[in-house]
Amino acid sequence: MNPVGEHRVTKGPLAPRWLAWSLEPPRAGTTVTARVSLENAGTATWRSQGKEGVQASFHWLDRLGNPIVWDGPRTPLNQPVGPGERVELELEVTVPRPPGAYKLAFDLVEENRFWFADVGGTPLELEIEVVPRIDARTLAVEVHGTPDPDTSAALAAQEEPLARVEHATAVAHLVAGAVPPPEWSRLLLDAHVEGWAAVGTALIGTGRELEPWRGSGGRNPRFDHPLLLPSLLAGIEPTTHLGLPAYSGDDGLFDGRVAVTLPRRSGRRPT
């Protein structure tokens, strides 16, 4: 663990002294494990009562100290911590998107009452560089169905060159006859770098059932439907919805700025 240097410790009942910390590599959009060691330097005993009482948590701040994520998940103390006693805690930390420079501030909270920093305590504030979700911009494509010349031509014209599946950090799923625009591969990889495990785009095709996927030019991380023809980080397998490759989960982004043209059921592309 990394030792914490000298820092201000207030006098009074609620005064944490931070001793050491560690953090797994913080990739954008992931959940990593942190460990903190601290001492009760105050005069009051810290006690957790299930989800109430004293809990450990964190804030993500930008470089100027403005909050990005204020209420991190809570971690209760596994036993009372009296004055002068020390405790080591393991916290699950959700990493923000996109990559970049942030501040991660650990603090204690008396649940539903106050943060220790509100009553004079000093949080443990760390300068953290959040790294991209993927190490390399390598996208492969799996085309479901018989090879189609229109799909092949569209893939050859992509702005971002495509990789072989075994070398890819992400795999995009298409159906034979689907035609993505040239910027498709670039925008998919941009979103994966930003921190998303799954990315879906708008669709152009016939049938009322596709109405939710027609898009309006925006990006939606809370899309109410499965992502169709998704790009998925390596190791994630698609499901099926409306006969198309799909993804349903919390770690997905719908990007309506780009649309894939679907073939007609007869195999011809819609006009």
Ranges 112-116, 143-147, 253-257, 263-267: which has the least confidence: 263-267
Q: Residues 49-67, buried b or exposed e (16+ Cβ, 10 A)?
A: eeeebbbbbbbbbeeeeee
- pLDDT above 90 (res 39): yes
Domain extent listing, the chain: 2-130, 139-261
Tell me how far apart the alpha carbons of residues 54 and 46 are, in angstroms, rounded to a whole number.
6
Angle at 196 between CA 29 and CA 226, to 5 degrees: 125
The pLDDT of residue 265: 59
For 253-268, how does the pLDDT look when each residue is reduced to its tens digit (9 = 90+)? 999 999 999 997 544 4
Q: Residues 15-46, buried b or exposed e (16+ Cβ, 10 A)?
A: bbbbbebebeebbbbbeeebebbbbbbbeeeb
125 in Cβ contact with 103 (< 8 Å) = yes
pLDDT above 90 covers a percentage of the chain that reads 91
- pLDDT above 50 (res 45): yes
For 17-29, how does the pLDDT look when each residue is reduced to its tens digit (9 = 90+)? 999 999 999 999 9
pLDDT above 70 covers a percentage of the chain that reads 97
Rounded to an integer, the average pLDDT of 147-173 is 96
CB count in 10 Å sphere of residue 199? 27
Residue 105 three-state SS: strand
In the predicted model, what is the mean pLDDT of the chain?
94
The pLDDT of residue 268: 42
- pLDDT above 50 (res 271): no
The pLDDT of residue 206: 85
User: DSSP code of 213?
Assistant: G
Annotation: CATH topology of 2-130: Immunoglobulin-like (2.60.40)
Rounded to an integer, the average pLDDT of 139-153 is 96
* Structure token digits, residue 66: 């403005």
The residues facing 227 across adjacent strands are: 247
